[in-house]
Amino acid sequence: MSNVLVSSVQQVLKELYAQDLSESQIQLQKTRKDFDGDVTLVVFPLLRVSKVSPEQTGQQIGEALVNAVDYVESFNVVKGFLNLSFTAGYWVSRLAEIAQTDNYGQRPKGGHSRNVMVEYSSPNTNKPLHLGHIRNNLLGYSVSEILKANGHEVKKVQVINDRGIHICKSMLAWQKYGENETPQSSGLKGDKLVGKYYVEFDKRYKAEIAALIASGKTEEEAKAEAPIIIEAREMLQKWEAEDPEVRELWAKMNGWVYNGFDTTYKRLGVDFDKLYYESNTYLIGKELVESGVEEGVFQKREDGSIWCDLTEDGMDQKLLLRSDGTAVYMTQDLGTAKLRYEDWPALNQLIYTVGNEQDYHFKVLFLLLGKLGFEWASNCYHLSYGMVDLPSGKMKSREGTVVDADDLMDEMFETAKAQSAEKGKLDGLTEEEADSLFEMLGMGALKYFMLKVDPKKRMLFNPAESIDMQGNTGPFIQYTHARIKSVLRKVENTVKEVPAVTGINVNERTLIQLLNQYPEIIQLAGEEYSPAVIANYVYELAKEYNTFYHECPILIEADENVKQLRLVISQMTANVIASGMKLLGVQVPDRM
């Protein structure tokens, strides 16, 4: 539509003002809700050729377009904006095109396509996944699916932080206090068992610090000299020296964690095409750092540590290798980035889904990659997102006060079950069907609530609010889809072609217009890396359908053509709701 209209505007301008304007000089935008119209032409840039006021220019162009373009029905001018309204016939024909389009809204792969790698999750193997990981996983997965819908080739990856001092803390605490406890002997998921000993280490460490301070040490001295932290550092050095006993313990405990993670990922509905492990990539990073010293990019100090001075770049001095030769996070990330481009030489973009507390880290990472001579450093992008807060406050993993991901998913299931029972939504369902519905509603509520907020914003997650059947929630949209499918079942889902009708009412027009926007919504969500664009569009579509459902009879409509039109609108609305929610990783039920 835009291309055809731009061409028509160009022709009208040539006839009115004897001027040839390029497509880039014709500015079209969606008409604001408080004005009548389907599309708006911005008049101000055209005043240099019209030589008259904005109002006169808009009036002249509007009159010419009504006469020249069959589907332009009327117009109005508001200051420097020409609002154009299209005929009912145009919107009905547009609905017919939508109904005949396979995978409507999604772009096929073509000349615009890119090869994109999206990293998300990236957990540490010293504790289970928590609420923050949920937002990370849902965001990374959804962005991946949205990029696929835009025709790009996408690989979903994670780097598992399976080495370092934090891992040694859990290992050491289990070794000292675990008494050979295993997931099998305790009944705990493996990641929860290892997390239990991470908390135990912190408890013992704090006790030792307090005792040292009481003996006259400063807090800084106590933190450095506590016996248990010294043992943890020694264990890390043994691990890097490939001590067999330490490596065996590391492999065993990490194996417990991986099994636990896999269970959580499966329920959360996310997956990965490839896994990277810090225990491998940090070695590549160390080689890069050493080569950087040889090339004069990095500097080795007297104590053996390696740094990069970034003060001329407006940053600070960055440690890359400790004096004892052990690596830091930056070392690993340098190696991981290099390995990924080696694995996929055609890669056009590498996206890191990581919270905004790491903004500085990624600025430094991309800068260092550039200094090392990697041209693709400019193609790296940090998908930064805000933290998740709870009504009860901020989480602290060392103190064991995190909101466990598995526990939260269980809570969402139970909340969906309780609300469904209260509203009488269980009639006619077997126990298995009911449990499946509760899981779909609970997970839909969780995912939608997390993704409807712009990624850049910090958010407050309230489980009870997220599962409300009214308002901007996943269950409201899921219920709308089930309502539409109920209508379609009554005609046995035999929706035919769009009929010829002489006119459409405001509710029908609004829904067709919203359906027409779906391809642009997917494109915008991909450009902004924002599932919130999809989420809030689908909510508007569901909300408008409910208004349409109450104000426009469907099954009892006497005029068969009008009835058929409304059934096609219903079918396409259900299709787009299901498609949009799928991009968010949310399932929609056919019955509720």
Beta-carbon contacts of residue 430 (< 8 Å; ≥ 6 apart): none
Q: Is 151 left (phi over 0), alpha (psi -120 to 50) or beta?
A: left
- What DSSP element (H or E) covers 511? helix 506-528
Burial tier of 428 (Cβ tally within 10 Å: 0-12, 13-18, 19+): exposed
Helix (H, G, I), strand (E, B) or coil at 324: coil
Q: What is the DSSP letter of 103?
A: T
Cα radius of gyration rounded to whole Å, the chain: 29
Q: Which domains does the chain have, with CATH numbers?
A: 2-86 (3.30.1360.70), 120-389 (3.40.50.620), 407-583 (1.10.730.10)
Q: Are 95 and 568 in contact (CB under 8 A)?
A: yes
- DSSP states along 30-83: EPPTTSS-SEEEE-GGGHHHH-S-HHHHHHHHHHHHHHH-TTEEEEEEETTEEE
pTM: 0.91
Asked if 345 and 375 count as a contact pair (C-beta separation under 8 A), the reply is no
Alpha carbon 306 to its chain's center: 36
Helix pair angle (131-149, 531-551), 10° resolution: 80
- Give the separation between CA 376 and CA 339, rounded to whole angstroms: 13
> Residue 135: which residues within 8 A CB-CB, separation 6 or more?
385, 388, 450, 459
459-460/306-309 β-pairing: unpaired
Do the strands 388-389 and 459-460 form a parallel or antiparallel pair, or are they unpaired?
Answer: parallel
The torsion defined by the Cα of 445, 451, 453 and 459, in degrees rounded to 10, comes to: 70
Token readout for 242 is 């490939």
- Helix and strand counts by DSSP (H, E) for the chain: 21, 14
In the three-class reduction of DSSP (H, G, I as helix; E, B as strand; rest coil), residue 117 is classed as strand
Residue 407 backbone class (left: φ over 0; alpha: ψ -120 to 50; beta: rest): alpha
Alpha-carbon distance 172 to 200, whole Å?
10
| 151 close to 110: Cβ distance less than 8 angstroms | yes
Residue pair 142/586 in contact by the 8 Å Cβ criterion = no
- What distance in Å separates the CA atoms of residue 24 and residue 17, rounded to the nearest whole number? 18
Q: Residue 498 carries which DSSP code? A: P
Cα-based distances in Å from 493 to 117, 193, 485, 496, 570? 39, 50, 8, 9, 11
Q: What is the pLDDT along the chain (592 residues), one digit of tens a residue?
A: 666 799 999 999 999 999 999 998 999 998 998 899 999 999 999 999 999 999 999 999 999 999 999 999 999 999 999 999 999 999 999 999 999 999 999 999 988 899 999 999 999 999 999 998 999 999 999 999 999 999 999 999 999 999 889 999 999 999 999 999 999 999 999 999 999 999 999 999 999 999 999 999 999 999 999 999 999 999 999 998 999 999 999 999 999 999 999 999 999 999 999 999 999 999 999 999 999 999 999 999 999 999 999 999 999 999 999 998 888 889 999 999 999 999 999 999 999 999 999 999 999 999 999 999 999 999 999 999 998 887 765 444 444 457 889 999 999 999 899 888 777 666 677 889 899 999 999 999 999 999 999 999 999 888 888 888 788 999 999 999 999 999 999 998 777 789 988 899 999 999 999 999 999 999 999 999 999 999 999 999 999 999 999 999 999 999 999 999 999 999 999 999 999 999 999 999 998 8
CA proximity to 399, closest of 564, 203, 120 = 203
